A and B are shown apart, each in its own frame.
Chain A
Amino acid sequence: MDNKEKIARRAARFLKDGELVNLGIGIPTLVGNFVDENTEVLLQSENGFIGLGPAPEPGKEEKDVVNAGGHPVTMVTGGSCFDSNMSFALIRGGHVSTTMLGAFEVDQEGSIANWMIPGKKVPGMGGAMDLLVGAKTVIITMEHTTKNGEPRILKKCTLPLTAKNVVDYVVTELCVIHFTDEGLVLEEVAEGVTVEEVIAKTEAELIIPEEVKVMM
């Protein structure tokens, strides 16, 4: 299992039966593969429906049934379609209980940067700003450091923000961090990873509880 799958497997355990969830692209999309079979979650797709299902069998694609990335998907039985105003009212209005998104950086104020790198990449924010502000629980799934080993969990984000003070949990291949009113609590570390290693690879200040669980 690679890092991305490890992160997705742990993130899936946050999901509760009966929740309405929106999963972003990248690692969050993989989360769907790890949801416990006794946990029934409904996935919202911001292009206008509830009940996002897996990709169709070849030849069974419907041109008007796609995910927010434009790729063919299926709708589960009991799904429902709506317009964009309804879709984003669901998101902003707190009806989507959990969103999972990737990030370039997060910081100890709970702020996140995931939509642009000035001078390099300016794709637009899409629905990310609305999801981060509206979902009750925001879970960020990302690799702990950059390709060069630099921390991505910072004291303060350096890239333009997507939203301020919104993050609840960060799940990386090394650990689970809970963003609380007291600060960032290191709740779990992956097997074979030490608390010291996580501290060394994190710029933000971490609160280390007496017991740090093993991340499953």
Chain B
Amino acid sequence: MKSKVVTIETALEQIKDGMTIMLPGFQDVGGPAKFEMEMLEKGVKDLTLISCDAGTPSRPAGVAKLIINNRVKKLITAHIGLNPVAGELMNAGELEVELVPMGTFAERIRCGGAGLGGFLTPTGVGTVVAEGKQTIELNGREYLLEEPLHADVAILKAWKADKAGNLVYNRCARNYNPAMAMAADLVIVQAENIVEVGELDPDAIMTPGVLVDMIVHMEE
């Protein structure tokens, strides 16, 4: 199989101003922190980020840094509470924030990659989350119709990748990686370890390599 391993420079060429980018990670665990810092360095701007939270400015991860350096115009997320700058930018009208319940956030990404037009969830019924959405009653229960999320690029973080892009994640770092691998036009992986094709047990692979376009070796 052809190797998908590329240099950071080659991968960064794909990241352009105005793109919609999915970044996995939950409280900075499982996100491609090093790649995010390279994006910051490159100067990309006007991004729409799809990220579970807004990061924590004091930690060395990039989501928070991209936000506080005004590179993000819109953030689709479940939680911004640990990044006070995100709240300030939102209140000042400089950052558009779409707050989504975390389970709905995960499922919208899954739908985006699974060919589904949307899904019905009881989460958010009777709250501000329901505003502007269709409420559907089915078998005596109310649901909100939620729509899929899709991105131009997803940047994943794998603990182990083989050169064909088969991926294994570590502990809590799996989080949104498998779903985001399905829901973007281009999938780039920041890999901690790279092994030869055949070294990973097929039963242990969490994301199949066909979903991955590029792998960059970056140790943290």
Q: How far is the CB of A116 from chain B (nearest CB, A)?
A: 9
Question: Interface residue count for A (Cβ, 8 Å)?
Answer: 43
Question: Interface residue count for B (Cβ, 8 Å)?
Answer: 45
Determine if A64 and B78 form an interchain contact, defined as CB atoms under 8 angstroms apart.
no
Determine if A66 and B52 form an interchain contact, defined as CB atoms under 8 angstroms apart.
no
Determine if B127 and A160 form an interchain contact, defined as CB atoms under 8 angstroms apart.
yes
Within 8 A of A (CB), among B20-46: 26-30
Docked complex Cα distance between A131 and B178 (Å)? 22
Interfacial chain B residues near A49, Cβ < 8 Å: 171-172
Determine if B175 and A66 form an interchain contact, defined as CB atoms under 8 angstroms apart.
no
Docked complex Cα distance between A81 and B172 (Å)? 7
Proximity string of chain A (32-62) to chain B, C-beta cutoff 8 Å, 1 when within and 0 when not: 0000000000000111110000000000001
Interfacial chain A residues near B128, Cβ < 8 Å: 160-161
Determine if A81 and B79 form an interchain contact, defined as CB atoms under 8 angstroms apart.
no
Determine if A46 and B102 form an interchain contact, defined as CB atoms under 8 angstroms apart.
yes
Determine if A83 and B174 form an interchain contact, defined as CB atoms under 8 angstroms apart.
yes
Of A11-19, A87-95, A172-180, the one contacting chain B is A87-95
Determine if B170 and A163 form an interchain contact, defined as CB atoms under 8 angstroms apart.
no
Determine if B106 and A69 form an interchain contact, defined as CB atoms under 8 angstroms apart.
no
A165 to B, closest residue via Cβ: B126
Proximity string of chain A (158-191) to chain B, C-beta cutoff 8 Å, 1 when within and 0 when not: 0011111100000000000000000000000000
A125 to B, closest residue via Cβ: B101
Q: How far is the CB of B88 from chain A (nearest CB, A)?
A: 11
CB of A199 closer than 8 Å to a CB of B: no
Residues of B with Cβ closer than 8 Å to A? 26-30, 52-53, 56, 77-82, 87, 90, 99, 101-104, 106-107, 110, 121-129, 159, 170-179, 206
6 closest A-B pairs by beta carbon, nearest first, are A123-B81, A70-B27, A88-B103, A164-B126, A130-B103, A124-B79
